[in-house]
Amino acid sequence: MAYDKSIEAFDEAYKVIPGGVDSPVRAFSGVEGTPPFISHGEAGYLFDIDGNKYIDYVQSWGPLIFGHCDADIEASVIEAVKRGLSFGAPTTVETDLANEIVGLFESIDKVRFVSSGTEAVMSAIRLARGVTGRDNILKFTGCYHGHSDSLLVQAGSGLATFGTPSSPGVPADLTKHTLLATYNDLASVKKCFKDARGNIACVIIEPIAGNMGLVPADETFLEGLRDLCDEYGALLIFDEVMSGFRASLKGAQGISTVKPDMVTLGKVIGAGMPVGAFGANAEIMAHLSPEGPVYQAGTLSGNPVAMAAGLTSLKKLKANPSMYVAFSTKAKKLVDGFAKAAAAVNVPMVTEVRGSMFGFFFSNKPVKNFADACENDTKMFAKFHKGMLDRGIYLACSSYETGFICAVTTDEMIEQSIKAAYEVMAEIA
């Protein structure tokens, strides 16, 4: 494939945008080549400005569960735009979308909409601190919860891609209140609770981690977290910005029996529009302004265009819950094909699937935490990614990211992708 126009566009972007991109992982620093500059999307495909066509397994990093330019979502957005882009005032569509979410999540009585997943998590943690009157929070190495100061401590995703454990510009006075434990290791959590002497406001976790690759939490581990939070009076927050409506119709909570105290959401609930949300039971949410003293606000929160897009997306999912079986079947077929292609040339690979989410590591052992993920052969991944891209297969440009199946991913696309994987593995092994 030729990338001449994208290379030129990247050079131009670099002159006026830091790194040439508006989100670091897009710069392709963890893989080979130059990022394609996208012209448009259509169903399960992306097209770049050089005219190349790709099967899209990124889907805007998760939101586009119905693929690009879904007719129903597109129509709802156009209708909303005709009424106005933003009002800074209440609209009934906010209540409609909130009702859809509340109706699906047992742990949520009320929900507050914001404009991003980062904002949702930041606000949820502030609320947890306000409810408990405590300062410390506990997170897990490799879990990414957005780029707010308190959470840029041993994060995954883009920071893992660049080999950076945290970020300059984050005050030590803030991060000293962020305790780190090891994912799927309950003993490390118990030690944090013991050392903190009861001063932990909340434990925040991706119950299905998607930012160190796809690494689900063990059910016994989640049960242990629930017990420890109950014992010490801390709140348990499930960050389902990525897994919400992706792993199942109810996210991780459709798979696990563990009930969190608070939930953060994003991505699918905006269907590609900027959106985030956090929710909890009525008692916890009553602490939030204007009902309570914990302040949170946003000019574009509950934006009517984003709400319309998300409402249509969620209604379509609720009307067709059987599609999650198809998602999982196709995702498993894809990664099983990748694994067989790798095995054919004696390259180790482990895979994981949760609903429409999939992941794979060039590793010879199961990946249970961030340390395991870091043993992944990133050089092999970079070569594999480049080979697949050159054959029209658009995968996440980091070995620490998750891939996605959408409703318009066909069996033919899966088979084409597996065929490409065999070719690439034979070429690079």
Give yes or no for residue 203 having a pLDDT over 70.
yes
Residue of 54, 57, 144, 232 with catalytic role: 144
- The whole-angstrom separation of Cα 265 and Cα 217 is 18
- The whole-angstrom separation of Cα 368 and Cα 373 is 8
- The whole-angstrom separation of Cα 163 and Cα 31 is 13
Q: Which residue has the tokens 């909890």?
A: 280
Nearest CA among 231, 297, 234, 239 for reference residue 264? 239
Q: According to the CATH classification, is domain 71-319 in 3.40.640.10?
A: yes
- The whole-angstrom separation of Cα 60 and Cα 46 is 10
Please say if 239 is a catalytic residue. yes
pLDDT bracket for residue 151 (50, 70, 90): confident
Please give the average per-residue pLDDT across 313-332, as a whole number: 97
Give yes or no for residue 280 having a pLDDT over 80.
yes
Give yes or no for residue 155 having a pLDDT over 60.
no
Contact 393, 52 (CB under 8 A): no
103's enclosing H/E stretch is helix 92-104
| Per-residue confidence (pLDDT) for residue 154, from 0 to 100 | 59
Residue of 267, 330, 333, 383 with catalytic role: 267
- The whole-angstrom separation of Cα 156 and Cα 141 is 7
Residue of 239, 383, 394, 400 with catalytic role: 239
Percentage of the chain with pLDDT > 70?
A: 97
Please say if 267 is a catalytic residue. yes
139's enclosing H/E stretch is strand 136-140
- The whole-angstrom separation of Cα 409 and Cα 30 is 26
| pLDDT tens readout for residues 70-90 | 999 999 999 999 999 999 999
Q: According to the CATH classification, is domain 4-69+322-428 in 3.40.50.970?
A: no
State whether the Cα torsion 19-25-29-33 is positive or negative.
Answer: negative
- The whole-angstrom separation of Cα 174 and Cα 169 is 11
Q: Which two tokens stand for residue 93?
A: 């569509």
Q: Which two tokens stand for residue 107?
A: 């742990």
| Per-residue confidence (pLDDT) for residue 166, from 0 to 100 | 58
| Per-residue confidence (pLDDT) for residue 159, from 0 to 100 | 42
Nearest CA among 155, 168, 75 for reference residue 117? 155
Please say if 144 is a catalytic residue. yes
Q: What is the reported pTM? A: 0.95
| Per-residue confidence (pLDDT) for residue 156, from 0 to 100 | 44
Give yes or no for residue 309 having a pLDDT over 60.
yes
Q: What secondary structure does DSSP assign to 336-393, as a single string?
A: HHHHHHHHTTT---EEEEETTEEEEES-SS---SHHHHHTS-HHHHHHHHHHHHHTTE
| pLDDT tens readout for residues 382-407 | 999 999 999 999 999 999 999 999 99
Q: Where are the domains of the chain?
A: 4-69+322-428, 71-319
- The whole-angstrom separation of Cα 29 and Cα 39 is 21
| Mean per-residue pLDDT over the chain, rounded | 94
Q: Lowest mean pLDDT: which of 161-175, 220-234, 324-338, 410-424?
A: 161-175
| Per-residue confidence (pLDDT) for residue 171, from 0 to 100 | 74
